[in-house]
Amino acid sequence: APGRLPADERLADYARRGIEGLRLDVEAGPEAYAPLMERLDAVL
């Protein structure tokens, strides 16, 4: 939606990734994204 805030998109991303993704993001910051996406690709 045009009025959607980036924070809303982050929350939606966390919802898709699950609590584990959120925990990794909090602990490691942006560096956590690439390994997480690689793991998801391997699982899916």
Domain of 29 in residue numbering reads as 6-43
pLDDT at 40: 75
Residue 11 lies in a domain: yes
Q: For residue 36, count CB atoms less than 10 angstroms from its CB and return exposed for 0-12, middle for 13-18, buried for 19 or more.
A: middle
Structural domain contains residue 24: yes
DSSP H or E stretch at residue 15: helix 6-17
The predicted structure's pLDDT at residue 5: 65
Tell me what pLDDT residue 32 has. Answer: 58
* Residue-wise pLDDT tens digits, 3-42: 666 778 877 877 777 776 666 666 666 665 677 677 777 8
Q: How far apart are CA 18 and CA 32, in angstroms?
A: 14
pLDDT at position 29: 63
Structure tokens at 16: 């898709």
- CA–CA separation, 3 vs 16, rounded Å? 21
Is 1 a member of any domain?
Answer: no
The confidence score (pLDDT) of residue 33 equals: 64
What integer pLDDT is reported at residue 3 of this predicted model? Answer: 61
